């Protein structure tokens, strides 16, 4: 048997194994930890308990919508543009600015020879007062999208004035996970801000204070059908009002979200998902049509439990303000299996 024939046979075995995994995750009652329903379940925050949350959702790595999860928080009544103007108006904040709302995403540019090249492009980060940022939200500019999204627990680090308005953790989640959150992040922007599809090594409790968020999700078992590439890093730069360019970075890339934390020896290349799930190119990425897509709208006052390693794409249909609590995942047997699957897909 030739080497090519052996490789083809191995590829066919891997493809078959991936199909079996996807099918078992969807329909088998025996593989409970991988079982997926056709839609995301929801419960009232009033009846959720640490034991039920862990047994029915965390242990199975299944998302859950918690209705009314933030309804009793002081922030629900207090947080508004006038309140932020009063409490934070002169405060300097870090704001991500892009031409199209896509920060930390793939974008195309051209090199000196006019050749097309795709980059992983990060936003231009600007320092401005909170009043200036709020003015951009109330009076949006064509060609410039402003979004507070710095992560790294930017809520607790950058906004101590607001800490008393929300709980430091989610008590039933903290008891279930057996630990406090590693980070609490704040997200604030208008309907043009989009988070490109990625995954995180965190158990995520996402809380919408104002507006609503639309999540598009794929389970970890869809990894074989989600196309990745490795891209040179770049940063957006506004050269004049409404005119943008992509500046390649010639230094080691910083950590971007959590997706780039991989064993990547090519330090100037960032591994990222190629496909746009809202407008997938099935000709270019034919396997993507095999994914199992779940969609959920997280409305004002609701929480979403997003399990670790789930792929997610996030957008909003109006101006939105949200917090999320990141709890470190357990690096248990499910993580080991996922890493094995990921390695087979590379």
Question: pLDDT tens digit string along 225-240?
Answer: 999 999 999 999 999 8
Instruction: Count other C-beta atoms under 10 Å from residue 268's C-beta.
Output: 15
Asked if residues 312 and 216 have their Cβ atoms less than 8 Å apart, the reply is yes
| Average pLDDT estimate for 96-105 | 96
The answer, yes or no, to whether residue 242 has pLDDT greater than 50, is yes
Q: What pLDDT does residue 213 have?
A: 97
Q: What pLDDT does residue 9 have?
A: 55
Asked if residues 320 and 189 have their Cβ atoms less than 8 Å apart, the reply is yes
The answer, yes or no, to whether residue 258 has pLDDT greater than 60, is no
The answer, yes or no, to whether residue 257 has pLDDT greater than 50, is no
Domain architecture of the chain: domains with CATH: 3-345 (2.60.120.10)
Which residues 6+ apart lie within 8 Å of 298 measured at CB? 65, 206, 208, 212, 213, 214, 215, 304
Question: pLDDT tens digit string along 8-67?
Answer: 655 677 777 777 777 666 654 444 444 577 789 999 998 999 999 999 999 999 999 999
Q: What pLDDT does residue 110 have?
A: 82
Provide the pLDDT confidence category of residue 3 given band limits of 50, 70 and 90: very low
Q: 90 by DSSP, 3-state: which? A: coil
Question: pLDDT tens digit string along 196-214?
Answer: 999 999 999 999 999 999 9
């Amino acid at each position: 048997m030739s080497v090519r024939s052996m490789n083809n046979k191995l590829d066919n075995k891997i493809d078959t194994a991936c199909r079996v995994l996807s099918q078992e995750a969807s329909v088998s009652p025996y593989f409970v930890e991988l079982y997926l329903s056709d839609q995301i379940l929801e419960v009232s925050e009033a009846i959720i308990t640490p034991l039920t949350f862990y047994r029915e959702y965390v242990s199975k790595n299944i998302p859950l919508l918690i209705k009314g999860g933030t309804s009793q928080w002081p922030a629900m009544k207090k947080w508004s543009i006038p309140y932020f103007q009063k409490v934070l108006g002169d405060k300097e904040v870090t704001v991500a600015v892009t031409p199209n709302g896509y920060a930390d995403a793939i974008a195309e540019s051209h090199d000196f020879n006019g050749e097309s090249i795709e980059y992983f492009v990060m936003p231009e980060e600007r320092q401005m007062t909170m009043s200036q940022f709020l003015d951009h939200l109330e009076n949006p500019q064509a060609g410039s999208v402003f979004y507070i999204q710095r992560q790294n627990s930017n809520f607790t680090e950058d906004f101590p004035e607001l800490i008393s308005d929300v709980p430091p953790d989610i008590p039933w989640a903290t008891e279930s996970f057996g630990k406090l959150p590693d980070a609490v992040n704040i997200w604030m922007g208008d309907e043009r801000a989009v988070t490109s599809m990625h995954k995180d090594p965190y158990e995520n409790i996402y809380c919408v204070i104002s507006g609503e968020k639309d999540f598009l999700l794929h389970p970890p078992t869809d990894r074989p059908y989600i196309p990745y590439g490795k891209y040179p890093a770049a940063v957006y730069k506004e050269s004049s009002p409404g005119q943008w360019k992509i500046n390649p970075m010639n230094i080691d890339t910083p950590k971007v979200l959590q997706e780039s934390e991989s064993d990547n020896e090519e330090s100037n290349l960032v591994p990222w998902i190629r496909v746009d799930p809202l407008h997938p190119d099935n000709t270019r990425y034919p396997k993507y049509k095999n994914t199992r897509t779940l969609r959920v709208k997280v409305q004002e006052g609701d929480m979403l439990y997003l399990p670790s390693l789930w792929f997610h794409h996030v957008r909003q249909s109006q101006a939105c303000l949200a917090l999320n609590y990141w709890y470190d995942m357990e690096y248990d047997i499910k993580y080991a299996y996922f890493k094995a699957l990921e390695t087979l897909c590379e």
